[in-house]
Amino acid sequence: MFSIGLTGGIGSGKSTVADLFAARGVPLIDADLIAHQITAPGGVAMPLIAGEFGDGFIAADGSLDRAKMRALVFADDTAKARLEGIVHPLIRAETERQRLAAQGAYHIVVVPLLVESGEWASRVSRVLVVDCPVETQIARVMRRNGFTREQVLAIMAKQASREARLAAADDIVINNEIATRDALAQQVDALHARYLSLASA
Ligand code: ADP
């Protein structure tokens, strides 16, 4: 099973790059999407979260009250660890299921916090980092999410540094402020060819 773990800081361009691989027929497994699904109404994590944190964290439709949980875990590392103790094994199991079911020579697992969560690096064949300067990252997220600079900085403070991410990279996509869509596509084409050849070796 040849697995590429795709990661990058918020606003680096992970989704943009992942979509380019998908357009080349590469199966994508998205850890964030899985996290969302297990905490949607009827999601497998919901009874466990209600048991651990109480019904106050469950929205009227049965999904996780994301705003409330985000506020709690942002301020309280113990609560964050308790939440992760519930959701991480479920995300891991579902990712594994999708990885085994994936068709094609290789697949991509998009994991925003791959470098931060340690265990992931050993579960993928290669780590692909989407990189851009910190100021570009800030500008993109302010534009995309309508956040203030301070809000973006607060999120980034909880993520690995650009340097730590690059140190963990086997491969890098450069998605800086001058990267055009064509430039990105060229980098993805080169990586795709490389991954196909590595997967068949
Ligand atoms: P991530 O998934 O890492 O948070 P996205 O792929 O969503 O990042 O990109 C963040 C934002 O920046 C999006 O609005 C995206 O359209 C934009 N963006 C990404 N790469 C570029 C680029 N090379 N040039 C201009 N805008 C970009």
**Alpha-carbon dihedral 146, 130, 161, 122, rounded to 10 degrees:** 130
Residue 191 has pLDDT above 90, yes or no: yes
Residue 109 has pLDDT above 90, yes or no: yes
122, β-bridge pairs: none
Separation of CA 173 and ligand 1 centre (Å)? 13
pLDDT number for residue 45: 97
Q: What is the CATH number of domain 1-27+105-201?
A: 3.40.50.300
Alpha carbons within 13 A on the beta-carbon side of 23: 10
Please, what is the average pLDDT of the chain? 95
The pTM of the full predicted model, rounded to 2 decimals, is 0.93
Query: What's the distance, CA 101 to chain centroid?
Result: 20
pLDDT number for residue 118: 76
7, 16, 20: which to mutate for ligand 1, most atoms within 8 A of CB? 16
Q: What whole-number percentage of the chain has pLDDT above 70?
A: 100
Q: Where are the beta strands (DSSP E) in the chain?
A: 3-7, 28-30, 107-110, 126-131, 171-174
Separation of CA 117 and ligand 1 centre (Å)? 23
Average pLDDT, integer, range 13-18: 97
Residue 107 has a CB neighbour count (10 Å cut-off) of 22
Q: Is 176 in the pocket of ligand 1 (CB under 6 A)?
A: no
Separation of CA 55 and ligand 1 centre (Å)? 36
Average pLDDT, integer, range 10-17: 97
pLDDT band at 54 (very low <50, low <70, confident <90, very high): very high
Closest CA to 2 of 100, 78, 114: 100
- Single-letter amino acid code for the residue at 57: F
Q: Is 16 annotated as a binding residue?
A: yes
